Amino acid sequence: MPTAASEKTVGRLTIYRRLLDELVSAGTENVYSHELATMSGCTAAQVRRDLMAVGYSGTPTRGYNVRDLLDSIGKFLDDPAGQQVALVGVGNLGRAILAYFAGRRPKLRIVAAFDNDPYKVGRVIHGCRCYGTGEMPDVIREQAISVGIITVPATAAQTVADQLVRAGIRGILNFAPATLRVPPNVSLEHNDITMYLEKVSYFARQGNRREKKERQGD
Amino acid sequence: MPTAASEKTVGRLTIYRRLLDELVSAGTENVYSHELATMSGCTAAQVRRDLMAVGYSGTPTRGYNVRDLLDSIGKFLDDPAGQQVALVGVGNLGRAILAYFAGRRPKLRIVAAFDNDPYKVGRVIHGCRCYGTGEMPDVIREQAISVGIITVPATAAQTVADQLVRAGIRGILNFAPATLRVPPNVSLEHNDITMYLEKVSYFARQGNRREKKERQGD
DNA sequence: TAGATTGTTAATCGATTAACAATC
DNA sequence: TAGATTGTTAATCGATTAACAATC
């Protein structure tokens, strides 16, 4: 397993993986870097460099074998032992995420949801059991959960983040419109939906050429 | 109005705006670049450079006036005439976005939602009227909608994008796990939730120091 | 072999960081 | 005035792009 890749490379690898999944479904056996490039919106040079980062090599005549490459990317991105994820805040957004990830990645599963609403606690939502927030420390430790998703209102986000960190979580994906403080050893990503909408609106006005780029990484 | 800023600068400006909104609510009158820096996770130098990009100047003794700065950022990011937004796909994610943006930005409003479900068509969801997808061309033209949000399943995303582009939309924010093709004059952002989760999980394992950075821009 | 693609190195580009005179 | 902050310029850093020999 190679050493840590850049944030951008990791982001692009997740895009390649989705595209390769589709190629497998379509029965495609081999793919060239420039084909992955046009599909992903990245450049062929980026694709080749990223695939080198995961330690997979292609051949000049056939490009990359789709199945083997998918396997190598999986080995690189996924924890071999699997990682468990918890989601806090079972509102519309939380339910959307639970529905989307249900059964999608065997190595990265949302195994517990938390909410204050007594009507939700105890139920199974999109295959995921919902617990009361007071049970967070116990459930997170018992199920060896290492990543937390925050889909609560902004006012509660920092409190939830602190609870997750105290319970031993190593990474947080935050959807709340708030800037969180976490210890340096905890990985933090902020999916700022407002930012996305304001950015796309700004550049829509500018009429800028921004076909693709996707998001690729960072 | 200054010329187009970089993608990263625009992204950070949206973060500053949220923080400044909070400062106004708290009654704070002035703020220094280093204060905005610690609140946003950016550096003080980035803050100063970004604020210069919007054409606002501070003073060495008092820093920046919160209200005036907020006004300048608004003039920079927002269309003075306002921009109308449409959302396609009123599932859990679509409803979450409608709820979140309801009445939040007067200059950037989601004025129409579209869905195939006859049960949803005709209803008002979080203050936004829901139309049938067949009405997209007419509604988009009549209401001068310039930005579209795609929250449909991946299999339908490209079709919806094509419809939006044909109806005259200038920017698309895509939440579906699919790489879309749009003309070069249409701004495109892809909010890839899977990518976020896989990235945070990867770096959680690496135990990397990644406190903050937020997302800031790009 | 001929030819397109691969892995790899050097050049380019842009943003971040550091440094500093000007300012209140 | 003294001192911290501002706007601005130069140096640094990292990623992207371009170029090319090696490969099947």
Check if the beta carbon of residue A193 is closer than 8 Å to that of residue B9: no
Q: Does B124 touch chain A (CB under 8 A)?
A: no
pLDDT in tens, B136-155: 999 999 999 999 999 999 99
Helix (H, G, I), strand (E, B) or coil at A85: strand
Mean per-residue pLDDT of chain B? 92
pTM exceeds cut of 0.85: yes
Q: Across the interface, which of B40, B85, B211 has its CB nearest the CB of A182?
A: B211
pLDDT in tens, B11-66: 999 999 999 999 999 999 999 999 999 999 999 999 999 999 999 999 999 999 99
Chain A residues with beta carbon closer than 8 angstroms to that of B85: 197, 201
Q: Is residue A209's pLDDT more than 50?
A: no
Q: Does A35 touch chain B (CB under 8 A)?
A: no
State the pLDDT at residue B213: 37
The string of DSSP codes covering A88-113 is: E--SHHHHHHHHHHTTT-TTEEEEEE
Indicate the pLDDT class of residue B206, thresholds 50, 70 and 90: confident
Indicate the pLDDT class of residue A5, thresholds 50, 70 and 90: confident
Residue nearest to nucleotide D17 (CA to C1'): A45
Rounded to the nearest angstrom, the minimum Cα separation between B102 and chain A is 12
Rounded distance, CA A190 to CA A88, Å?
15
Give the nearest nucleotide to A31, CA to C1'. Answer: C5
State the pLDDT at residue B5: 85
State the pLDDT at residue A206: 81
Indicate the pLDDT class of residue B91, thresholds 50, 70 and 90: very high
- Token couple for A173: 């994906």
